[in-house]
Structure 1
Amino acid sequence: MRPGRRRMLRPLAAAAAGTLIVLAACDAPGSDGSSGAGSGAGSDGAGDGQGQPGGQDEPAALVATPATPEGTSLLGGEDAAARALAMSQALFTAAPVVVLTSADEQLRAASAASVLGVPVLVDGEGVAEELERLGTEVALALGPVQDPGVDLVTAADDTTLAGLLGITADPEQVDRDDTTARLAALDPGTPQLLVPGPPEESPTTGDDASSISGAPGPDLPPADRDELPATAPPEPQPGTVVLTTGEEDDVAALGTALAAGARVVHSPDGDPRATSESVQALAESAPTAVLGLGQDLGDADTLAWRVRTAATGVELPGGGQLALPDRTYVALYGTPGTGALGVLGEQPVEETVTRAEELAAAYEALTDEPVVPTLEIIVTIASAGAGADGNYSEELPVEGIRPLVDLAAEHGLYVVLDLQPGRTDFLTQAQQYQELLELPHVGLALDPEWRLEPHEVHLTQIGQVHAEEVNEVITWLADLTRERDLPQKVLVLHQFQPRMIPDIADVDLSRSELAVLIHADGQGAQPDKQQTWRALHAHAPDVEHWGWKNFYDEDVPGPLSPEETMSLVDPVPDFVSYQ
């Protein structure tokens, strides 16, 4: 051991004043009459006044003291050192042993920490203060680090490191692109040393996956101890979830999360609603505390409601809770009971569902995305007469539509409710169907062609709506979606002329509770339809999601085939409907 440490090593078998260290006694007698070693890493009694000859008890295993976080917070440090420090502060109040690592050795350090049940710190600003706060006495140093002022244990290679950790399995090489996902999948009951695989550009040269960079060497202080003191993991924190987008700078912090017994959930898109895996992981975890790592998870409030939604475990057709992107909707358009408004009503309800499934199946070989059979149901129908309410729109009763909506849910179909409001406004009509819009598989469509001014009637002009009215619907529907913890909803805006929504640049696209989609409804000759498609894109360049309609009778020389729809329409539509 090296003399002259800046801090004297305090006895490791008891807590110093002001330091909360839980000691898990391990006093089962060994075969030679001495007491057994503590769980976790190997025991080291040298120099601590504990390991007395003559059958005295071995030192008790040291257990770090976890914190109990609550609510949702973001740990958005700009680098690995800042994120590791923030995670240690969030999840531990005391730790007699830590893993101290360079930024290049985060994966080894994270898996080592998960075995030991201790925090990981990345060498950098704030480390000395954190060691003081934790009451740390010993650090397992991996890679070149500054002298931390506590006793160091080092390992020159993975064989030595595995021995210090008490791991008998061979180290597992992990693809550098899969690091955080592999950490998230670690089984706490199966100790495993993870090491980075070779760089892709130099598979046979460069980093040696069996050695630890800079250890030992001129950049790493010499070891003070040959072994780690015995440690044991703390009691797990089953209600704590840590979200990661998979950034390299998250790795060390994830080791601390695993050491504290938190559940690590990999959310590569930055939105926990995005994948079935993240949704189900959160549903299983029922989190009481969520810590988001990195800078791509939104603000704390946004993350909180997204997590709350994901934790319901309810998924959309096609998986996950984001309606778009990464799936293709293929829809029958019309209203039940009549073929005059579209193919959806040309057959009985049960056969409508079957027809939608068969139509969607024709697209499955044409895309790598899930294809979702869909029904777009006209629920308020433009009418020639004013009607009793004077709005030139016939509103179908909810109870008449509900059987088809429920049958669609049973078969995994998505449903869009289409509004043709006449002289009333879109929000007024949308609110009449709140009961259906509270279902997770139901979205909404606004059809400006049939939005009249007070003096207008249908078929004498093409209607239009302004962004202000559209935004009223967006605000109401997004708020409803958030308040009811519902998956993201599709909001379709029908158009075949730019003037139908003249100020579309002012439509609010910021509400991630909704996926806003412009649907090009042009009919006629295919060259004219393509020209309309391009004009609408030029009119709304900021809109990300688009839909295309095929008309069986009105398109010339006929509707595009599924293959033509997916190859000739550019960009490829997210939503294809048939009328």
Structure 2
Amino acid sequence: MHVTRTIPALFAATALLISGCSDSEGGIADSLGGGKSLETNGDEVIQDTDGTGVEVSKRLFDKADTVVVSGKERDQQLKAAAVAVKLGAPMLTRHDGADAAVDAEVERLGASRVINVPGEEEEVDAVASAEPAGDAAAIASLEPGSPSELAMPPMFATALSSRASVATARAAGADVQVLAAPDPRATQESMRTVTEQDTLALGRQFGSNENFQARAALADNGELPGGGGLVFPGRRMVALYGHPYGPDLGVMGEQDPAAAVELAKKYATDYQPFDDQPVVPAFEIIATVASGGPGDDGNFSNETPMEDLVPYVDAIVDAGGYAVIDLQPGQGSFLEQAKLYEELLKRPNVGLALDAEWKLNPGEAPLSRVGSATSGEVNEVADWLATLVRENNLPQKALVVHQFNAAMFPDRENIVTGQPELAWVLHADGHGDPQQKFETWDVLRQGLDPNFFMAWKNFFDEDFPTFSPEQTYRDVHPRPWFVSYQ
């Protein structure tokens, strides 16, 4: 359970609801003396829904002699951010339709000086940022010139956080960590931060307080290869696909586990020059294989004994990689088959893949059609896997869904995603020439839940030609997070 922490706990009883700006006189900080901290009551999201920064200003400042008010243009906001951080003043932005909210906050703060940008602003160099995606990080790196006398809790932001929110937090003296994803498990540093004290998150992309707190509660569950506790972002993966029994089902089984690991590491190394994030080697191991006959259990799927998978799982994990257990259930159940490999899935670096191509209804013959699965079948696996993660204190786990046409998941829109325990991956299995593969890719992305990360498969025999690492990362848009080879 994620417990409430205060900074320091000694001052929780003072019930400080809001802080004072350091240039204020006679404010809360002054009346109580130095060494006080902003009151917190668990991890909290400051939504800042309109991007004006008003909510952040209200949370961090009880009053301020100076307020910096920016126009809506990016260059104006970057200039205003530099001024606000230098002066220790809150920053507000006049977006369309937000004048009343901004004016009301200026009045609440009791400011005797309003610096308008553009206008007669201070002589301060604007924040230097080449691309808008880097603005939050650039502002967070500024040194506050007159921070609040109240100690501020650490704060998280992303590229989507408003410039005003980050500038106001930094002006107050808060340490602002800009993350690649709105989740406190994004980096080793953010995981450590959120487990040691309460934190504030800037922006509605972090979701509700409940959502943010649920993710924070998982931050002490260990890291994944490449750092941090999220499957994606933070790393990409390049995987060999196959079965331990031999080469007929994919490249992974063409050699023993040690040799397969070396090959996977080579592929990952080949991709690394084209990406700033770590590229992690992986195996996608077929655990249950669709069959032409019913077998002893009548489900047209052969379940590989877990002990035959263990050498490959051990090998890739010991090499700092990731393993994905792939299910081809025939007439069987995804959930029943997943439970056969529960002990493997209890490992922190092992995910699960559902291959609907080989999912048949009762009475259907193998290869009579491309298989399909309902959202209900996927959701029950997701619920079980998320519970497994929580109950075993595991880092986030990949749940991969294979698809190459719309009919494989006829009600895909009803798949429930967003669980903090899971990283959802849509694996595009299309093969052929580049035009065919891109057409499949584009079709699969239509109407796709934004919680899915995209994955791409390169085929050695069915692609014409097989993409090189450079082509895969250069020509496939968006760039896939997971690339497998079959």
Q: TM-score, normalised by structure 2?
A: 0.73
| Residue in 1 that maps onto 2:252 | 344
**1:193 and 2:148 equivalent?**
no
Task: Kindly state the Cα deviation for residue 367 of structure 1 after the two structures are TM-superposed.
Answer: 4.7
Q: Tell whether 2:203 aligns with 1:294.
A: yes
Tell whether the 8 Å contact from 2:389 to 2:396 is kept in structure 1 after alignment. yes
| SS of alignment partner, residue 248 of structure 2 | coil
1:143 to 2:115 alignment: yes
2:185 equivalent to 1:273: yes
Within the candidate set 169, 177, 180, 1:254 is matched to 169
d(CA) in 2 for partners of 1:111, 1:489: 42
- 1:331 aligns to 2:310 (yes or no): no
Q: CA deviation at 1:250?
A: 1.2
Query: Which structure 1 residue ranges, 5 or more long, are not aligned?
Result: 1-17, 21-39, 49-58, 90-94, 114-118, 132-138, 145-155, 159-170, 195-230
Residues 452-481 of structure 1: CA distance to partner in whole angstroms, max 9, x if unpaired?
A: 222234345443222221222233334544
Deviations 1:262-308 (A, max 9, x none): 6432236433334x3xx413414534322222332211111112233
Q: Identity across aligned pairs (percent)?
A: 35
Distance in structure 2 (CA, Å) of the matches to 1:249 and 1:537: 36
Query: Partner letter of residue 209 of structure 2?
Result: A
Matches within 5 A, 1:34-73: 63=34, 65-73=36-44
Cα distance in structure 1, aligned partners of 2:179 and 2:295 = 51
1:414 — aligned with what?
A: 322
Query: Does structure 1 conserve the Cα–Cα contact (< 8 Å) formed by 2:42 and 2:198?
Result: yes
- Structure 2: distance between partners of 1:349 and 1:569: 30
CA contact 1:63–1:233 (8 Å) conserved in 2: yes
Kindly tell me: are residues 561 and 296 of structure 1, through their superposed partners in 2, closer, same or farther at Cα, counting changes over 3 Å?
closer
Residue 19 of structure 2 corresponds to none
Query: Is 1:244 aligned with 2:149?
Result: no
Q: Which residue in the other structure is 1:103 paired with?
A: 69
SS in 1 for 2:424: strand
Matches within 5 A, 1:197-216: none
Structure 1 pair 174/436, CA: closer, same or farther in 2 (3 Å)?
same
**Any idea what SS the aligned residue of 2:400 has?**
strand
Aligned length: 434
Conservation of the 8 A alpha-carbon contact between 1:467 and 1:507 = yes
Which residue identity is paired with 2:68?
Answer: S
Q: Higher helix fraction: Structure 1 or Structure 2?
A: 2
Letter in 1 for 2:169: L
Distance in 1 between the 2:139 and 2:318 partners? 37
User: Which amino acid counterpart does residue 157 of structure 2 have in structure 1?
Assistant: T
Q: Give the Cα–Cα distance (whole angstroms) in 2 for the partners of residues 537 and 441 of structure 1.
A: 30
Q: 5 Å matches for 1:470-481?
A: 470-481=378-389
Instruction: Report the AA paired with residue 154 of structure 2.
Output: V
1:568 CA displacement: 6.0
Quote the RMSD (CA, aligned, Å).
4.3
Aligned to 1:431: 339
* 2:361 counterpart letter in structure 1: E
- Name the residue aligned to 2:56: 83
Give the secondary-structure state (helix, strand or coil) at the position aligned to 2:192: helix
| Cα distance in 2 for residues equivalent to 1:306 and 1:437 | 20
Supply the AA of the counterpart residue of 1:83. Answer: V
TM-score (normalizing by structure 1): 0.62
CA distances 1:139-185 after superposition (whole Å, capped 9, x unpaired): 895737xxxxxxxxxxx978xxxxxxxxxxxx987426777546655
Aligned to 1:74: 45
Whether 1:264 and 2:236 are equivalent positions in the alignment is: no
Instruction: Measure how far apart 1:82 and its partner are.
Output: 3.6
Q: Structure 2: how far apart are the matches of 1:70 and 1:60?
A: 22
Q: Which one-letter code corresponds to 2:214 in the other structure?
A: W
Amino acid at match of 1:280: E
**Contact 1:449/1:500, CA 8 A, preserved across alignment:** yes
Match of 2:269 in 1: 361
Which protein shows a greater Rg? 1
Aligned residues of 2:239 and 2:264 also touching (Cα < 8 A): yes
How far off is 1:378 after superposition? 0.8
Indicate conservation of the 8 Å contact 2:430/2:441, yes or no.
no
Residues 245 and 253 in structure 2, CA contact (< 8 A), matched pair in contact too: yes
